[in-house]
Structure 1
Amino acid sequence: MSSKDEKNLAQVIDKIATMDEPQRSTMQRVHDIIVSVAPDLKPRIWYGMPAYALSASTPALVTLRNDERLNLALTEKVELRPAGGADGALMPAAWYFETVDEDTEKRIAEIVRAVVS
């Protein structure tokens, strides 16, 4: 890992560490899921949020927000496909969560894998 990647990772870890519980533990778990299933994504801060990109100099693909609710979102830089079915031309790009159970963990992993595949 390059020193810039290490610095960016440290900034993401520090950002998560500033969050109040239980959001901090939940966001740390989501961060761990992302770096585990997509080790090619590089953590960095993007508009003040923990985010993940293909390199330190490319736009973020995945972001994590801690507002009134926790949020996993894909940026406009991801190739999004219409959902079809009842959602027609809508493209799923953000998911809110409060906790991460086993099913949520699996779904987050699927979403992140789809970003990098």
Structure 2
Amino acid sequence: MSQSDLNVSQQPASSTEAINKKSKGFSQQERAAMKERAKEERASKDRAEGEKDVLTKIAEMSESDRAIATRFHEIVKANTPDLSPKTWYGMPAYARDGKIVCFFQPAQKFQTRYATIGFNDSANLDEGMMWPVSFALKELNTEGEEKIIALIKKAVSQ
């Protein structure tokens, strides 16, 4: 291989090629969630306002997401009354001392095939060196409710 062959193969990509290879960035849904989060940070809300916001978000969901989110909200309220409902990135969430412990992510939010119940690092779910913090849900039955109750109780335990 000659020196000129090496030079040709090492030439930088044209600006058009570089632009086409760049990441497209955040999705429309991700940008919308970030805008909602910015609004949430600016708003000063008490527990009643937070619950009102959560119920409003749940009411806006598709029927399948709404059914699961409504039941999740009821479970959290009944089993962990010290958690305060609030929205987080436009999703129903539950906080202790201002820190999100758990949240519900509807399937429609990011156009996924299942809803998600997630826990943040303020949740006390640690088990050894690795443990799950997110759970997919396509529906919610009695067995699922029992698992969620156990998880949220553990998440707020000291």
What's 1:17 paired with? 59
Contact 1:82 1:92 in 2 (8 A): no
Contact 1:65 1:71 in 2 (8 A): yes
Coordinate RMSD, CA, aligned: 1.4
Structure 1 residue runs of 4 or more that deviate by more than 6 Å after TM superposition: none
Higher helix residue share: 2
Q: Which has the higher strand share?
A: 1
Number of aligned residue pairs: 108
SS at match of 2:93: strand
Q: Match of 1:60, SS? A: strand
Q: Shift of the alpha carbon at 1:30? A: 1.0
Q: Which residue of 2 aligns with 1:86?
A: none
Aligned-pair identity in percent equals 26
- Choose which of 80, 92, 116 in structure 2 pairs with 1:71: 116
Moved more, 43-52 or 8-17: 43-52
Matches of 1:82 and 1:39, distance apart in 2: 24
The answer to whether the Cα contact below 8 Å between 2:125 and 2:151 also exists between their aligned partners in 1 is no
* Residues 101, 120 of structure 2: 8 Å contact kept: yes
Max Rg structure: 2
Q: Which segment drifts farther, 43-52 or 73-82?
A: 73-82
Q: Which structure carries more relative contact order (alpha carbon 8 Å, separation 6+)?
A: 1
Please report the TM-score for the alignment, with normalisation by the length of structure 1. Answer: 0.85
Q: Distance in 1 between matches of 2:135 and 2:64?
A: 18
Normalised to the residue count of structure 2, the TM-score between the two structures is: 0.64
Cα distance in structure 2, aligned partners of 1:80 and 1:111: 8
Report the AA paired with residue 71 of structure 1.
Answer: T
Asked if 2 retains the 8 angstrom alpha-carbon contact of 1:43 and 1:50, the reply is: yes
